Structure 1
Amino acid sequence: MNERRPTPLLRAWVLTDAQRFLLLAVLIGVSTGLLVVCFHTSIELIDFSVHDTGTAPLMRVLWPALGAAAAALIVRVIPASAGSGIVQTKSALYVSNGHISFAAVPGKFAACALSIGTGTPLGPEDPALLMGAGIASRLGRVFNLSQRSMRLIAPTGAAAGIAAAFNTPITGVLFVMEEVVAGFDAAVMGSIVLAAVSSVVTSRLFLGDSPLFSAPEVVAIGGWRALLSYVVLGVTAGLFATTYVRVMTLLRYRLGAIHLPPLVGPLCAGLMVGAVGLVWPDVLGTGYRAMDAALHNQYAWSTMAMLAVVKMLVSGVAFGAGTPGGLFAPTLFLGVMLGGAFGGLAPGWLPVAAGPQGTLVLAGMAAMFAGVFRAPMTAVFMAFELSGTAESIVPAMITATLAFLVARQLHRQSILDVVAEHEGAVLPSARLVRPDAPLHVEDAATPVSDHVLVVNTTWSAPEALAHIQSSSAESALVFGANGRWMLLDVAALRSAMADEQAWEAFKTGSAPSVDGRPLEYRNVEPVYPDEWLDVALRQLARAPVVPVISRLDHRHLLGVVTGDDVRRAYGFERASPPA
């Protein structure tokens, strides 16, 4: 039977995979734009109902607590809606092949609308990023995309979400390429641009095309005194950004170490936020109104300095307590207030130009964003797109670059690295990229076989001895009490495990002894599936077996890599011994 071939007319209507992917990017952008419009509207309606209707002082204290507790309850029911959203999106790209639970979309929408709308001092942009990525992941599964396309679909939705949230297509594209994808990959650039543009066009149909802030008075840079002012502001912002990251790190770990019930932490943080809001109401919620006022010189420099300090503390407490919300808006708030305070204070103390307030405020905003998120290119174009003034570009370039360099020198981690580490994930940043290399660790990794015994320290002594004695493996991998993977000789371990006390000592991190001599072992550095294969090769120079672990859980062993595995991956087989 002859196979029927499509006619030329039919072939003209059959789309290639690349064309289908680009059309899907437009659909993702439109869907995300509509969702972000609803998200912003919900936050504004809740905010108006709570704060703009003559609420009594007691209720003004209680509303942030009630909103945070309600949001925490949603997170309890839908764990995928926790956090800011950026770490989850990067995890989808580098760990779970683009898969994001769709439950995160309605969960994040409801939790963040309630928390931010009632006054939690966090932002809606990061949650919008996750919601866009969640929509993209869902549509990718509906259209049965390949694994490679699914990996690329999450950042496409993320760009749509952040572009619609800020009403800034360039910022959305640059942030996703600079921080989420961690590089400018031609394979994903086209889809990201299409999704960002289509989401912004959709949101502007409902919210208008005005920038987030009304355009302030901004003048082009001129003279050495003006240049010096931007240099000093950039260095100052780098120091302030480092302080903010360290404060967030401290609060995140200290509050997490208290081990309060899931609803109690956000509730207590909300009460504190509400009490502070009685004195400093401008720090509540997104802070957009206060930022716009600062751009137009409506605050004294001392007020802006105090607002920056208060916002740093309350946003750190809220986020550290587990209240869902984003970090973009608080960071921009700090930068705006820092730039405004600098503009009012510095001319009286330093040989710098006074200049228009708006110029320094925008430059401070860009500098703070670059220092906290380590995304200087995004920061520069954000200042331009949020204000609509091209004269802001050069001052923003100077301050953002210096703040980035100072912050990176003083603190190796960005705020996203801190959040990821606290959640137990090790994700690539702009300094650690998964390139399109010929081979990665996952190409050579093999399941744990009889050649490697994985010892579980939760076993009792008889269970451990039974597993060890029945194994034909020559080497054993153990995740030790010191939080590191260890490689041991099974024969020696079998002799040591005959003593129950030796096993208990081993479980607590003490090496047992064989005939009075300590059992020899070596710490081995694990590798991740998405790393270059030569990373595993370097580790194989130190140990015959290298564990492959999950970026989300260091104790989760995905497989192992040996020298034979690497040779097979490269197409080489071990030479047969001579006869």
Structure 2
Amino acid sequence: MKKDTSHTLKRAQRFPVILIGEGLLVGAVSGLIVMFYRIALTYAGQWLNEILGYIKGHPVRIIGWFVVLLLLAVVVGRLVKWEPMISGSGIPQVEGEVLGKLTQDWKRVLPAKFIGGFLCLFGGLSLGREGPSIQLGAMGGQGVSRLLDRGKTEERYLMTCGASAGLAAAFHAPLAGMMFALEEIHKGFSVSLLVSVMTSSVTADYICSYIMGIDPVFQFKLDHVLPQNHYWLLLLLGVLLGLMGTLYNKVMIKAQELYKKPKWLNETTRLVIAFLSAGVLGLVMPSVLGSGGDLIVSLTGGEMVLGLVILTFVVKFLFSAVSFGSGAPGGIFFPLLILGALIGGAFAMTASEFLGLDPVYVNNFVLLSMAGFFTAIVRAPITGIILLFEMSGSVSQMLSLAIVSVAAYITATLLRSEPIYESLLNRLLGGQQKGAVRINNGERRSESEKSAGTDTGKSSGYSTSAGGQKVLSEYVIMSGSVLEERTVMEIHWPKNCLLVALERDGKEIIPRGKTKLMAGDRLTVMTDERDAGYIHDKLENLCYTSF
């Protein structure tokens, strides 16, 4: 069925009701997919530990295991070559498609990401389940949309719902799943989207919790609330986390660059390096393998001294760079939380030794540091605070979480560290120019086509190009932007977009040439599918900047 302009507009009027039901369906589908993925990764970790115990002290068995690791690298490399969109975390791919800048095929990505992620964790690579879970969830949403023959606008909403469901099911964190999908994936809010995403997230969490239990991911107790006379330590910790988060982002990006420089390194040989590194560490320091959940148990259980914490952090940090830089299908989300926990543990132990901090507060700093490190790297403070509150089951640390997260956010911002997922998306989009990934179903816009979409005149904003599905996008005019206090006819709108609705104070206004725009106005813009990414960047620039 052709999704023309009239069909898109009529269906958009019923979105608030339609999306609730579809969000429920996507939540169920994506929740089940991610639940099975969690179960598979649990078995992968158990089997890995059994194998490491079995080969310990037996040279022949060790050689046999390294042969298996080589085979795993070859299989995963073939999967990445067959479907390049499964490489890495998966979150930038989802974000890029929701923004209209690239495309994925759910029928290829779902099986390839599932199998690839399982094999990487089975091999011991320092990767997490959350990025793949978000991508798997989003592909579940895309699959539902395609099977129900929905338009592109609706499909992007359902992918956002699926991403939310994926994180909720992966971490038993429905609120964090909802906030991450809105704050990082969709980068926008509307009532219909908020309700549908919340429905999807809660549905996925209910299904997963019903089968796997309701225990929080991090099961350690915080018996004491940090006294306010120690809050100055939180500011120091926040600054440290901002510095370390900036370093983390630079190292992860640099690792990708180093892997791509030698011509002899391809999808498979890069993975061979990562898998063999995992094999070596499995013999000398197995605690750093996998996502690292057991490290939290050891750290919060008082089983690690300061020197061991620092050594573990350094090795885990470098191994994470080796694993992620190789392009292996796996996330950085959970490993970075573990690294944050190690920073917090080391900081608290040092403060206890030299600054008079009572050792009973070490676990508090472990939790706070995870949120701050996440915020410094991802630049999503609300998600970080809610995520750690849900993952730990503790509500007593909200003020402390906010202080550390804000301090880390400010420090990373002042250091001009680009959020990690934005950096990865930009690199992914840069690779598409070389044919590395698909964009807009294989279409590529030439420079002349791109220039046709520039600000060519006041009237150019009132047309859409022929052909392709129509996509609706919403933007909110921020105070101080170039659109504020100017009329519609005074704006140089991007070519091939159409301003179809304007909402102010909950009331819809028909936009006309003399309509004056105000801060807080919500604009609904229609464009063709192939122009959606370009138009998104232009409209965001108009709505959010003052120049």
Q: Same fold (TM over 0.5)?
A: yes
- Tell whether 2:351 aligns with 1:346: yes
Change (3 A) 1:453 1:275: closer
Instruction: Give yes or no for contact 1:372–1:414 (8 Å, CA) kept in 2.
Output: yes
Instruction: Give yes or no for contact 2:241–2:372 (8 Å, CA) kept in 1.
Output: yes
- Tell whether 2:230 aligns with 1:232: no
For the residues of structure 2 that align with 1:277 and 1:159, how far apart are their CA atoms?
34
User: Aligned-pair distance for 1:530?
Assistant: 7.6
Q: C-alpha offsets along residues 532-575 of structure 1, whole Å, 9 cap, x if unaligned?
A: 89999xxxxxxx99999xxxxxxxx969x9xxxx9xxxxxxxxx
| Structure 2 equivalent of residue 130 of structure 1 | 135
For the residues of structure 2 that align with 1:97 and 1:74, how far apart are their CA atoms?
19
Question: Within 5 A, what are the aligned runs for 1:171-182?
Answer: 171-182=176-187
| Structure 2 equivalent of residue 55 of structure 1 | 54
For the residues of structure 2 that align with 1:86 and 1:477, how far apart are their CA atoms?
29
Question: Within 5 A, what are the aligned runs for 1:172-571?
Answer: 172-224=177-229, 226-259=230-263, 260-350=265-355, 352=357, 354-424=359-429, 454=448
Q: C-alpha offsets along residues 54-100 of structure 1, whole Å, 9 cap, x if unaligned?
A: 23142565655543432222112222322211111111211169864
For the residues of structure 2 that align with 1:69 and 1:162, how far apart are their CA atoms?
29
Secondary structure at the counterpart of residue 72 of structure 1:
helix
Secondary structure at the counterpart of residue 30 of structure 2:
helix
Instruction: Give yes or no for contact 1:66–1:270 (8 Å, CA) kept in 2.
Output: no
The structure with the greater share of residues assigned to helix is 2
Q: Is the deviation greater in 319-328 or in 267-276?
A: 267-276
| Structure 2 equivalent of residue 472 of structure 1 | none
For the residues of structure 1 that align with 2:473 and 2:19, how far apart are their CA atoms?
23
Change (3 A) 1:69 1:333: farther
Q: Where does structure 2 lack aligned partners over 5 or more consecutive residues? A: 1-12, 57-61, 433-443, 455-471, 484-491, 497-529, 540-547
| Structure 2 equivalent of residue 434 of structure 1 | none
Q: C-alpha offsets along residues 341-376 of structure 1, whole Å, 9 cap, x if unaligned?
A: 111112333465544221010001111111111111
| Structure 2 equivalent of residue 24 of structure 1 | 22
Q: Highest Rg: 1 or 2? A: 1
For the residues of structure 1 that align with 2:495 and 2:408, how far apart are their CA atoms?
38
For the residues of structure 1 that align with 2:390 and 2:494, how far apart are their CA atoms?
48
Q: Is the deviation greater in 127-136 or in 138-147?
A: 138-147
Instruction: Give yes or no for contact 1:237–1:368 (8 Å, CA) kept in 2.
Output: yes
For the residues of structure 2 that align with 1:307 and 1:75, how far apart are their CA atoms?
30
For the residues of structure 2 that align with 1:28 and 1:295, how far apart are their CA atoms?
37
Change (3 A) 1:453 1:26: closer
Change (3 A) 1:88 1:310: same
Alignment coverage as a number of residue pairs: 445
| Structure 2 equivalent of residue 121 of structure 1 | 126
| Structure 1 equivalent of residue 38 of structure 2 | 40
For the residues of structure 1 that align with 2:370 and 2:244, how far apart are their CA atoms?
12
Instruction: Give yes or no for contact 1:367–1:403 (8 Å, CA) kept in 2.
Output: yes
TM-score, length basis structure 2: 0.74
User: Aligned-pair distance for 1:392?
Assistant: 2.4
Q: C-alpha offsets along residues 263-320 of structure 1, whole Å, 9 cap, x if unaligned?
A: 1111112112321232221111111111232223221122122111111111111111
For the residues of structure 2 that align with 1:292 and 1:194, how far apart are their CA atoms?
33
The letter of the residue matching 2:42 is E
For the residues of structure 2 that align with 1:453 and 1:272, how far apart are their CA atoms?
43
Change (3 A) 1:425 1:202: farther
Q: Is the deviation greater in 370-379 or in 87-96?
A: 87-96
TM-score, length basis structure 1: 0.70
Q: C-alpha offsets along residues 428-470 of structure 1, whole Å, 9 cap, x if unaligned?
A: xxxxxxxxxxxxxxxxxxx99xxx9959xxxxxxxxxxxxxxx
Q: CA RMSD in A?
A: 3.6
Q: Where does structure 1 lack aligned partners over 5 or more consecutive residues? A: 1-14, 428-446, 456-475, 479-484, 486-528, 537-543, 549-556, 567-579
Instruction: Give yes or no for contact 1:367–1:399 (8 Å, CA) kept in 2.
Output: yes
The letter of the residue matching 2:377 is V
